[in-house]
Structure 1
Amino acid sequence: MSVNALYTDLSGYYDLMCVDIDYQAQSNAIRRLHQIFGNEGKRHLDVACGTGPHVRHFLDAGFTSSGLDINQPMLDIAAQRCPEASFSLQDMSRFEVNEPLDLITCFLYSIHYNDGLDKLGDCIASAHRALNEGGVFCFNAVDKQRIDNELFVKHTAQQAEETFSFRSGWHYSGQGERQSLRLSIEKTTAETTQVWHDEHPMVAVSFSELIALLEPTFEVHVFEHDYQTITPWDNVSGNAIFVCVKRERLA
């Protein structure tokens, strides 16, 4: 199976794979951060939006929300979930918007889907161009230097007569700008069990490298990866939430 074939072929199972994610808590936390650091505007874009659950929560909170993704089947589901939103098929490393935005989000570590540090820089530049003055770019990230290749998360979910087991974990060789998300899905019915294995290539970056990419054009605030509280990053943990405020133009 090709690198992203599983992501495409199982788009109908994506929400089941993410059933343990608290989309509302994540969305509420970013809205609080936007209230603290943002420009009070309500125009929002979710980058790598998938099937649109975060977009749904932002719409319900009164935002004019939109989404982009590279996967059309995902966008088709998102459009059904959020008929009042607009969605576009675009690469996150180089995207364009029709009107300036006040908030750009990128959840679920999807910032790492940029293909290398150059593309990550392009994504940051695209976000900067798309934002109004004082607009905010929020995303979560993992520090390559703190990845434990032995750690993984696993959960099981039921759909009709089928049982699904999902397992995922980061892997980093210890050098270079490439890491991967290793994913396996097991589907069991009364008669058979099918197993898919997939590996998504992603950009590997340390937090110091990431901050260096952001600081020329953004005021950067880093918080612990906790959507229940707003706690500054302790400079130790390997997962964090980045809140990046577009710098004002110099007079």
Structure 2
Amino acid sequence: MSDNALYTDLSGYYDLMCVDINYQAQSDAIRRLHQIFGNDGTTHLDLACGTGPHVRHFIDFGYLSSGLDINQPMLDIAATRCPEAQFTLQDMSDFEVNAPQDLITCFLYSIHYNDGIEKLHACISSAHRALKSGGIFCFNAVDKDKIDNGLSVKHSAKQADDSFTFRSGWHYSGQGEKQSLRLSIEKTNAEETQVWNDEHPMVAVSFAELIDLLAPYFEVHVFEHDYEKITSWDSLSGNAIFVCVKK
């Protein structure tokens, strides 16, 4: 299956696949961080916005929110969910905005969809260029050196007469700048069982390497991956939230 084919072909199942995600808590946590570190502005762009659930919450918070993604079927759903927002078909490693933004977000580890260090650096540069003075770039990331290839997450859901089982997990070989997100969807009904498997190439980076990439452009603050409270990163965990203030 080609890169991103799973998301493109099964975009109608994406929200079901992510049903356990607390989008409101994530959005509210980043809004609080923006209030602390930001410039008091309310223009917002969500990178790799998918079907737009985070954009919906930021609009409800009072932001002038927009989104971009590389999959048009996702954006079609996002436009229905958020008719007030502007959505564009763009690659986050090299994107343009019509006007400078106060806040740029990238949720659900999607920063790793930049599938190499060169593209990750280009994304960081694009975000810096797209922000107003004092604007912030917020995203979550995983440290390649802390990935356990044996771990995965699984959940089940029902839609009409179909039962779904979703599985996902990181995989890193232990060297280099490439890791992958392995995804599986099993759909079962009274007549048949169908299974889709996909593997998305993603960038592998340590937090030390990531901070070095960000430092020329941003003042970098790193927090524990906890959307209920704001806690400084303990330098040990392999998941973190990055809050990057434009220099």
Q: Tell me if both proteins adopt one fold, taking TM over 0.5 as the criterion.
A: yes
- What is the deviation of 1:222? 0.2
- What is the deviation of 1:3? 2.8
Matched, 1:236 2:212: no
- Aligned equivalents of 2:92 and 2:217: distance in 1? 18
Alignment of 1:144-223 (within 5 A): 144-223=144-223
SS at match of 1:41: coil
Matching residue of 2:130: 130
| Alpha-carbon displacement from aligned partner over 1:40-64 (angstroms, at most 9, x marks no partner) | 0000000000000000000000000
| Alpha-carbon displacement from aligned partner over 1:201-238 (angstroms, at most 9, x marks no partner) | 00000000000000111000000000000000000000
| Alpha-carbon displacement from aligned partner over 1:27-49 (angstroms, at most 9, x marks no partner) | 00000000000000000000000
Matching residue of 1:64: 64
Structure 1 residue runs of 4 or more that deviate by more than 6 Å after TM superposition: none
Matched, 1:112 2:100: no
Which TM-score applies when normalising by structure 1?
0.98
| Alpha-carbon displacement from aligned partner over 1:46-96 (angstroms, at most 9, x marks no partner) | 000000000000000000000000000000000000000000000000000
Matching residue of 1:18: 18
- What is the deviation of 1:191? 1.6
SS at match of 2:141: strand
Matched, 1:46 2:46: yes
> Which consecutive unaligned segments of at least 5 residues does structure 1 have?
none
- Aligned equivalents of 1:105 and 1:243: distance in 2? 9
Which TM-score applies when normalising by structure 2?
0.99
SS at match of 1:20: coil
Alignment of 1:26-45 (within 5 A): 26-45=26-45
- Aligned equivalents of 2:217 and 2:86: distance in 1? 27
The amino acid that maps onto 2:175 is Q
- Aligned equivalents of 1:4 and 1:132: distance in 2? 31
The amino acid that maps onto 2:231 is T
**Paired positions, count:** 247
| Alpha-carbon displacement from aligned partner over 1:126-158 (angstroms, at most 9, x marks no partner) | 000000000000000000000000000000010
- Aligned equivalents of 2:185 and 2:143: distance in 1? 25
| Alpha-carbon displacement from aligned partner over 1:14-38 (angstroms, at most 9, x marks no partner) | 0000000000000000000000000
- Aligned equivalents of 1:197 and 1:132: distance in 2? 41
- Aligned equivalents of 1:168 and 1:103: distance in 2? 29
- Aligned equivalents of 2:151 and 2:242: distance in 1? 23
Matching residue of 2:8: 8
The amino acid that maps onto 1:139 is F
- What is the deviation of 1:6? 1.1
> Which consecutive unaligned segments of at least 5 residues does structure 2 have?
none
- Aligned equivalents of 1:71 and 1:162: distance in 2? 25
- Aligned equivalents of 1:65 and 1:5: distance in 2? 27
